[in-house]
Chains A and B, each alone.
Chain A
Amino acid sequence: MDEKTLIAKRVALELADGNLVNLGIGLPTLVARYIPAGRHVFFQSENGIIGMSGPIVGAENPDLTDAGGNPISALPGAASFDSAMSFGLIRGGHLDVTVLGGLQVDEEGRLANWMVPGKMVPGMGGAMDLVSGAKRVIVAMQHVAKGESKIVKRCTLPLTSVRRVDLVVTDLAVIEPTDKGLVLKETAPGVTVEQVLAATACELIVPADVPAMPL
């Protein structure tokens, strides 16, 4: 299993039956493939739909895409709406879970994921609203990028929100930000606690028992 699949599978276990979920562009979109059997999850795309699925190849509708502009299909029971409604759902506490990619998460559980000054300024899109408003924020990202840990003492990149995220799932570990600090909850299969600590640029709280991800 590659790293992205591992992260997506682990995140998928967090989604409960009946949840309204928004998946960010990139790695988070993979999560939809691994929803445990028997759970029905409603996926929202912030461009204005609940109840999306992959496209019907050859019958793509130009008026029906995800937030990345890729064709999708609307499942029976889907609903479409304008951008104010879409972000009302997000900001108004109606969205159960948002899964986003990350550039950095710090000791206080704060996320930076929308720009690298001087290098990459794509814009925040819906990320700031999603992190501010979702009931639960899950960050899905590689633990280390270009030799540097993405879990840091204090974010050096501009913050997406000051809200503490609820869970961080990486290719090495599951980490829960709390008011006492970052708690190591699980390690990836074959990864030791020491390896996680070595790949992390800040303190982690390590409980007596750290199980492997239940994949």
Chain B
Amino acid sequence: MKKIIELADAVALIPDGAVLMIGGFMGVGTPPRLIDELVRQGKRGLTVIANDTALPGIGIGKLIAAKAVARVIASHIGLNPETQRQMIAGETEVELVPQGTLAERVRAAGFGLGGVLTPTGVGTVVEEGKQTVEVDGKTFLLEKPLKADFALINAKRADYYGNLEYALTARNFNPLMAMAAETVIVEAEDIVPIGVIPPDAVATPNVLVDYIVAKERRHG
């Protein structure tokens, strides 16, 4: 099972200043042990592409509090006052992107598209500095693909090949991000033998996954 890697070794692959995509929505579907290990290893200057920065003490909120993040690309930071404080103090750069546009920019990168045309944001501050394109009389914004060095993915189950199954609303950005990064690291709740996840339930095919973080050893 060459994809299985110890937690500390997985996070050691990530250099300071790396661009990370991190799955999750308000911490739900964010890989908790990978986040804790990034903090423990004292990473600095990271760019985080994610839906939000969760709450203080939860998910990406821990990276923000640890001052590990130099730049955030997200749709919402409103429930994390520390992200807002760092943004206003000029400590962390924040680019706000409409949520559907964020999903499509990540998808575009992973699907090999040059960008997407969306009506979202036309005539608002989101349009500033962007190309508009008219198609059959309707105006769209050209939104460019978003790529990352690493995607940190949280799955319900991974099999030994790296096929992934997600749970309910913990799915969110995970399958999109698993296609849009150079290196894909997965933290799964369970790691199961090949064949246990039925083909119809695989949302991320194994070829996209580089590493699966070894399970925590617990006894008693």
Question: Are A and B part of the same complex?
Answer: yes
Q: Which residues of A contact B (CB under 8 A)?
A: 45-49, 61-65, 67-69, 74, 80-84, 86-87, 90-91, 120-129, 132-133, 158-162
Q: Which of A61, A67, A124 contacts B96 (CB 8 A)?
A: A124
With a 10 A CB-CB cut-off, give which of B27, B87, B100 has the most chain A CB atoms: B100
**Contact size range, B:** 35 or more
Select from chain B the residue with minimum beta-carbon distance to A78. B168
Partner of B87, one of A61, A90, A121, A160: A121
- B183 in contact (CB, < 8 A): no
Give A82 to B170 CA distance when docked, in angstroms.
9
* Interface bits B118-146 vs A (CB < 8 Å: 1, else 0): 11111111100000000000000000000
- 9 interchain pairs (CB within 8 A)? A69-B79, A80-B168, A80-B171, A82-B176, A86-B172, A87-B104, A122-B84, A128-B120, A161-B120
Which residues of B lie under 8 Å from residue A74 when comparing CB positions?
168
Task: Say yes or no for B70: interface residue by CB 8 A criterion.
Answer: no
Do residues B169 and A64 form an inter-chain contact, with CB atoms below 8 A?
A: yes
Kindly list chain B residues whose C-beta atoms are within 8 Å of the C-beta of A120.
78
A161 and B124 within 8 A (CB): yes
CB distance from A80 to the nearest CB of B (A): 5
Residue of chain A at shortest CB distance from B203: A82
In the complex, A13→B56 CA distance in Å? 38
Report the separation of the CA atoms of residues A175 and B153 in the bound assembly, to the nearest whole angstrom: 45
Question: With a CB–CB cut-off of 8 A, which chain A residues contact B194?
Answer: none
Complex alpha-carbon distance, A165 and B96, angstroms: 23
Q: Which of B98, B124, B171 touches A82 (beta carbons < 8 Å)?
A: B171
What 9 pairs across the A-B complex have the smallest Cβ distances?
Answer: A122-B78, A87-B100, A69-B26, A162-B123, A129-B100, A63-B170, A63-B167, A123-B76, A125-B76
Name B100's contact: one of A49, A91, A121 (CB within 8 Å).
A91
Contact status A69-B27, CB under 8 Å: yes
Report Cα–Cα, A122/B99, bound state, in Å. 13
Contacts of A121 in B (CB 8 A): 77, 84, 87-88, 94, 96
Among B28, B173, B175, find the residue whose CB has the most chain A CB atoms closer than 10 A.
B28
Report chain B residues within 8 Å CB of A62: 28, 170
Q: Name which of A83, A90, A133 has the most chain B CB atoms within 10 A of its CB.
A: A83
Which of chain A's residues has its CB closest to B126's CB?
A128
Bound-state Cα–Cα, A121 to B78, Å = 7
Q: B103 at interface (Cβ–Cβ under 8 A)?
A: yes
| B147 proximal to A (CB < 8 A) | no
B78 touches A48 (CB 8 A): no
Question: In the assembly, what is the distance between CA of A45 and CA of B169, in Å?
Answer: 9
Q: How far is the CA of A82 from the CA of B99 in the complex (A)?
A: 12
Distance between Cα atoms of A49 and B121 in the complex (Å): 24
CB contacts (< 8 Å) of B54 on chain A: these are: 69
Cβ contacts under 8 Å, A128 to chain B:
98, 100-101, 120-121, 124, 126
| A-contact bits for B50-82, CB 8 A (1 contact / 0 none) | 011011000000000000000000111111000
Contacting B172 at CB < 8 Å: which of A82, A91, A132, A133? Answer: A82
By a CB distance below 8 angstroms, the chain B residues around A69 are 25-28, 54-55, 79
Choose among A68, A81, A125, A160 the residue that contacts B99 (Cβ–Cβ < 8 A): A125
* Contact present for B25 and A91 (CB under 8 Å): no
B43 close to chain A: CB less than 8 A: no
Q: Are A63 and B156 in contact (CB under 8 A)?
A: yes
Contact assessment for A65 and B28 in the assembled complex, using a CB-CB cutoff below 8 Å: yes
A83 and B51 form a contact (CB under 8 A): yes
